[in-house]
Amino acid sequence: MIGVIELNRRKVSGDIDYDPPTREELLNRIYIETKLNKNIEWFTNDPATIDATAFLFSPSSIHSGHSKLWTAERVLSAALIAVMPASFFVPLPAMDYLFALSVIVHIHWGMEAIVVDYIRPSVFGNVIPKVSLAALYLLSILALGGLFYFNYSDVGVTQAIRMMSKI
């Protein structure tokens, strides 16, 4: 796949004749190249390669799915402020399950952000980030299953915390 800058360099120099891509085609191409971990040269010293296509790039239009996840993370974080004390004041099994689910999902999303941000394919290759993310999912599932099992077969998470605080 030829990068946007390379296409523009050829257009300015007159090597090829092509129809300029639409804004959606450019955003899709940039998104795909970014997902495939291709290096795109955004800034260059050659003034002939700079054109308006570099200014059409809009991160909000490409990563609109991430904004919904970000909103869900913030809603869960705010809900934890109510769920934590409520699970202690209302000792019901449903509250124990809600507490366990919300805490594990909150921790998982935080650790997932750390893994994605710091275990990058450009630094560690393509295998280690995938293995790290798979390990995180496995640990999150095991932790959630363990807390659910503890809620089902024992006194529950909040009662266990109460009992430990009496020690």
Residue ranges for the known binding site for a ubiquinone are: 118
**DSSP state letter for 107:** H
The answer to whether the beta carbons of residues 158 and 150 sit under 8 Å apart is no
Binding-site annotation, residues: 106, 118
Q: Closest by alpha carbon to 41, among 59, 54, 58, 26?
A: 54
CA atoms within 13 A on the CB side of 60: 0
Give the Cα separation of 94 and 148 in Å (integer).
11
Angle at alpha carbon of residue 122, lines to 120 and 127, rounded to 5°: 65
Angle formed by the axes of helices 64-89 and 157-166, nearest 10°: 60
Which residues, 6+ apart, have CB-to-CB distance to 104 below 8 Å? Answer: 140, 143, 144, 147
Binding-site annotation, residues for heme b: 106
